[in-house]
C-alpha cells in the first residue's frame, strides 16, 4: 500500500501552472527580502565599524597633539610645572595622569598611575614624559560595537531560520487569500456580466475622464453601434454615433451633473438618459454610469394617439357641421326647384343653374367631410402594395399624359383594407399629380421598400412650404386653387388606422415628398 504522503497527485489535486508560478514568485520575493535584510544588516555593521575606526583615529591624533603640547609645557616649566599642567588638562582630552622620569632617575607623578590607561611617551628637557589617557571610553565603544554586531548577526540568522521554516506556511496562506480574492473577483465579474446582459436598458460605463469603459449589448443596439466594436478607452464622441446624446453626456461628465430621466432628441431617435457618478469612500470620483432607454416607440405611439384623438375630435365637429350644412343645402335646392315651376325667364334660369352648380360642389365637399368624420371599420386582408399603387398610377396617367408615373421597388404585402388603402393612395397620388400639372408637367416617382413596409411618393411639382405641413393635414386646408382640403386628412386617418405614419416634406419650387410607413 502506497503511503498517503508518497501517493501521486490526481489531476484534480495536482497544482496548476498558475499555482506553481504564484508559489515560486512568493518564495523568490521572500528570498530577495531576506537577502536584502542581510545586506542592510552587514552594511550597517560596516558603517558602524568604519565610524568606530575613524573615531579612534581622530582620538589618537588628538592624544598625540595633547602629548606634544604637554611635553612642550614641561620643557618650558620644568618638573615643578607638572602638577599645574595636570590640573589644567584634567577632565580634558581623557587625561588621567602625567609622569616625568627625570634624568637622575627620580619620577615626578601627577594623577593616576595604574588602571585601564593608555600611555604616550615624549622626551622633554627634564627627562621622559609619560602622558596617560583613560582607556575606558574607547573600550566601552568597542564593546558596544561588538555587542551590536553579535545581536544583529544573531537576529538576522534567527530571522533567516524562521523565514525558511515558515515559507511554506506563508506561501500557503498567501495562496489561500489570493485564491479567495480571485474567486470573489470572478464571481463579481460573472454577476456584473449577467446583470449587464439582462438589462433591457442601455448602460455606459465611463472613467473619471469621460472615456468609454464599456457599453452593454442593449446600449449598442439603441445607439446603433456594432456589437463587435472595441470601445474601451475611446472618447465618448468617437464611440457614440448620436451627436446630441454624446454631447449631453459629455456635458454632464464635465460639469459633474446628475441627470435624471432627461429626454434627448437625436434625429429620429428619442432617448431617455440618467447618469450616476461613482465615488469611493474618500469621495474621489471613479467614473460614471449612464442608463438610457430608447423612447422612440413610446413617443411615436403617443404622437399617433394624439393624432387619432385630434382626428376623432375633428370628425365629431365635422359631422355636426356637415349634417347642418347638408340639411340647409337640401332645403335650398328644393326651393330652387320650386322656383322653376312658376315659370322664369332665361336670365333667371341661367342664374338658377349657376346656383345649383355651386350647391352641387358644396354638397360634394360636405359628402367628403362626412366621409372623413364617419367611423371606419377595417376589413383586413393581404394587400400587395406594388400592384395597388400601379393601378392607381395608371388611372391617373390615362387622364394626364403630361405627367410621368414610375413605380419601383419590391413587392411588399401588408395586412390591411384594400378599399381604404386605395382611397388613401389615390388622394396622395392625385395631390402629386395636381402639383406637377400646376408647374406645367413633370414626373411622380413611387418607391417601395420593406422592413418596415414603406411607400415614398415624390414629385417635382410646385412644392410646399415646410411650415405648412402640419396645417395641410387639417380639413379644408389646401394649397390647390380648387381643392377642398380633405384628401390629406382622410389619407392620414386611413394610414393611422392601419398602424402607420404619414409624413409630408418639400420645398417651394422643388416638389414634395409624402412618406407612408407601416409597422413591420
What whole-number distance in Å separates Cα of residue 256 and Cα of residue 286?
Answer: 12
Contact 274, 292 (CB under 8 A): yes
- What kind and span of H or E run contains 499? none
Per-residue pLDDT reduced to its tens digit, 312-352? 656 655 666 666 666 777 777 777 777 777 667 777 777 77
Q: How far is CA 298 from CA 49, 56, 260, 451, in A?
A: 86, 94, 18, 19
Give the pairing type, strands 107-111 and 95-102.
antiparallel
pLDDT over 50 at 11, yes or no: no
Longest alpha-carbon distance in the chain: 191
Contact 55, 181 (CB under 8 A): no
pLDDT over 90 at 513, yes or no: yes
* Highest mean pLDDT, choosing among 149-158, 395-404, 450-459, 480-489: 450-459
DSSP label of 10: P
Mean pLDDT of 434-444: 87
DSSP label of 281: T
pLDDT over 90 at 235, yes or no: no
Q: How far is CA 308 from CA 221, 304, 311, 518, in A?
A: 30, 6, 5, 16
Give the model's confidence band at 480: pLDDT under 50 very low, under 70 low, under 90 confident, else very high: low
Q: Which residues contact 361 (CB under 8 A, 6 or more apart)?
A: none
The mean pLDDT of the chain is 78
What whole-number distance in Å separates Cα of residue 59 and Cα of residue 73?
Answer: 21
What one-character-per-residue DSSP string does 344-405 give? --HHHHHHHHHHHHHHHHHHHHHHHHHHHHS------EEEEHHHHHHHHHHHHHHH-TTEEE
Per-residue pLDDT reduced to its tens digit, 192-201? 566 566 667 8
Residue 425 dihedral angles phi and psi, to the nearest 5°: -70, -30
Beta bridge partners of 118: 133
Mean pLDDT of 483-497: 79
**HSE-up (13 A, CA, CB side) for residue 420:** 22
Contact 466, 483 (CB under 8 A): no
Q: Which of 262, 264, 212 is nearest to 233 (CA)?
A: 212
Q: Return the higher-pLDDT residue of 191 and 209.
A: 209
Per-residue pLDDT reduced to its tens digit, 244-269? 888 888 888 888 788 888 888 877 78
pTM of the entire predicted model = 0.45
pLDDT over 50 at 232, yes or no: yes
Q: What is the pLDDT of residue 319?
A: 61
What whole-number distance in Å separates Cα of residue 201 and Cα of residue 278?
Answer: 19
Give the model's confidence band at 22: pLDDT under 50 very low, under 70 low, under 90 confident, else very high: low
Angle at 395 (CA atoms; ends 443, 493), nearest 5 degrees: 85
What whole-number distance in Å separates Cα of residue 457 and Cα of residue 517?
Answer: 11
Per-residue pLDDT reduced to its tens digit, 395-435? 888 777 788 999 999 999 999 989 889 988 998 998 898 88
- What kind and span of H or E run contains 467? none
Give the model's confidence band at 7: pLDDT under 50 very low, under 70 low, under 90 confident, else very high: very low
What whole-number distance in Å separates Cα of residue 498 and Cα of residue 519?
Answer: 8
Q: Residue written as cell 447618469?
A: 275
Give the model's confidence band at 444: pLDDT under 50 very low, under 70 low, under 90 confident, else very high: very high
Helix (H, G, I), strand (E, B) or coil at 306: helix
pLDDT over 80 at 20, yes or no: no
CB atoms within 10 A of CB 425: 24
Q: What is the pLDDT of residue 254?
A: 84
Per-residue pLDDT reduced to its tens digit, 36-85? 777 887 888 888 888 888 888 888 888 788 888 878 887 777 777 777 77
Amino acid at each position: 500500500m502506497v503511503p498517503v504522503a508518497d501517493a501521486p497527485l490526481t489531476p484534480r489535486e495536482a497544482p496548476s501552472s498558475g499555482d506553481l508560478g504564484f508559489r515560486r514568485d512568493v518564495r523568490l520575493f521572500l528570498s530577495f527580502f531576506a537577502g536584502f535584510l542581510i545586506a542592510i544588516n552587514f552594511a550597517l555593521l560596516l558603517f558602524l565599524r568604519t565610524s568606530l575606526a575613524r573615531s579612534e583615529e581622530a582620538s589618537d591624533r588628538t592624544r598625540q597633539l595633547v602629548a606634544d603640547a604637554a611635553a612642550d609645557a614641561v620643557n618650558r616649566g620644568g618638573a615643578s610645572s607638572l602638577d599645574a599642567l595636570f590640573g589644567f588638562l584634567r577632565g580634558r582630552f581623557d587625561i588621567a595622569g602625567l609622569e616625568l622620569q627625570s634624568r637622575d632617575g627620580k619620577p615626578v607623578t601627577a594623577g593616576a598611575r595604574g588602571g585601564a590607561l593608555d600611555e604616550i611617551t615624549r622626551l622633554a628637557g627634564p627627562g621622559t614624559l609619560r602622558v596617560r589617557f583613560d582607556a575606558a571610553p574607547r573600550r566601552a565603544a568597542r564593546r558596544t560595537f561588538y555587542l551590536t554586531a553579535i545581536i544583529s548577526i544573531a537576529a538576522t540568522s534567527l530571522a533567516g531560520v524562521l523565514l525558511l521554516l515558515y515559507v511554506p506556511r506563508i506561501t500557503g496562506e498567501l495562496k489561500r487569500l489570493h485564491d479567495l480574492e480571485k474567486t470573489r473577483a470572478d464571481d463579481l465579474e460573472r454577476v456584473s456580466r449577467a446583470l449587464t446582459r439582462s438589462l433591457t436598458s442601455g448602460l455606459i460605463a465611463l472613467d473619471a475622464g469621460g472615456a468609454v469603459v464599456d457599453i452593454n449589448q442593449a446600449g449598442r443596439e439603441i445607439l446603433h453601434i456594432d456589437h463587435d466594436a472595441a470601445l474601451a478607452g475611446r472618447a465618448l464622441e468617437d464611440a457614440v454615433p448620436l451627436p446630441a446624446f454624446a454631447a449631453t453626456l459629455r456635458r454632464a461628465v464635465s460639469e459633474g451633473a446628475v441627470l435624471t430621466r432627461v429626454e434627448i432628441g437625436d434625429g429620429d431617435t428619442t432617448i431617455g438618459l440618467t447618469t450616476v457618478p461613482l465615488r469611493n469612500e474618500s469621495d474621489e470620483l471613479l467614473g460614471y454610469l449612464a442608463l438610457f432607454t430608447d423612447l422612440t416607440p413610446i413617443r411615436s405611439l403617443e404622437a399617433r394617439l394624439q393624432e387619432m384623438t385630434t382626428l376623432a375630435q375633428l370628425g365629431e365637429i365635422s359631422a355636426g357641421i356637415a349634417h347642418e350644412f347638408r340639411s340647409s343645402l337640401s332645403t335650398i335646392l328644393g326651393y330652387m326647384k320650386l322656383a322653376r315651376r312658376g315659370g322664369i325667364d332665361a336670365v333667371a334660369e341661367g342664374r338658377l343653374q349657376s346656383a345649383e352648380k355651386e350647391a352641387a360642389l358644396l354638397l360634394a365637399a360636405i359628402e367628403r367631410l362626412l366621409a372623413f368624420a364617419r367611423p371606419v371599420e377595417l376589413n383586413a386582408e393581404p394587400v400587395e402594395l406594388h400592384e395597388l399603387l400601379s393601378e392607381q398610377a395608371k388611372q391617373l396617367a390615362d387622364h394626364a399624359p403630361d405627367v410621368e408615373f414610375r413605380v419601383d421597388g419590391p413587392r411588399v404585402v401588408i395586412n390591411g383594407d384594400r378599399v381604404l388603402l386605395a382611397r388613401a393612395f389615390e388622394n396622395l397620388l392625385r395631390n402629386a399629380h395636381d402639383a406637377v400639372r400646376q408647374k406645367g408637367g413633370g414626373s411622380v416617382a413611387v418607391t417601395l421598400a420593406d422592413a418596415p413596409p414603406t411607400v415614398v411618393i415624390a414629385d417635382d411639382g410646385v412644392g410646399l412650404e415646410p411650415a405648412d405641413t402640419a396645417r395641410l393635414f387639417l380639413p379644408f386646408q389646401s394649397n390647390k386653387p380648387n381643392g377642398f382640403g380633405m384628401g390629406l386628412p382622410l389619407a392620414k386617418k386611413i394610414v393611422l388606422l392601419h398602424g402607420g405614419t404619414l409624413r409630408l416634406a418639400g420645398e417651394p419650387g422643388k416638389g414634395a415628398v409624402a412618406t407612408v410607413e407601416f409597422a413591420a
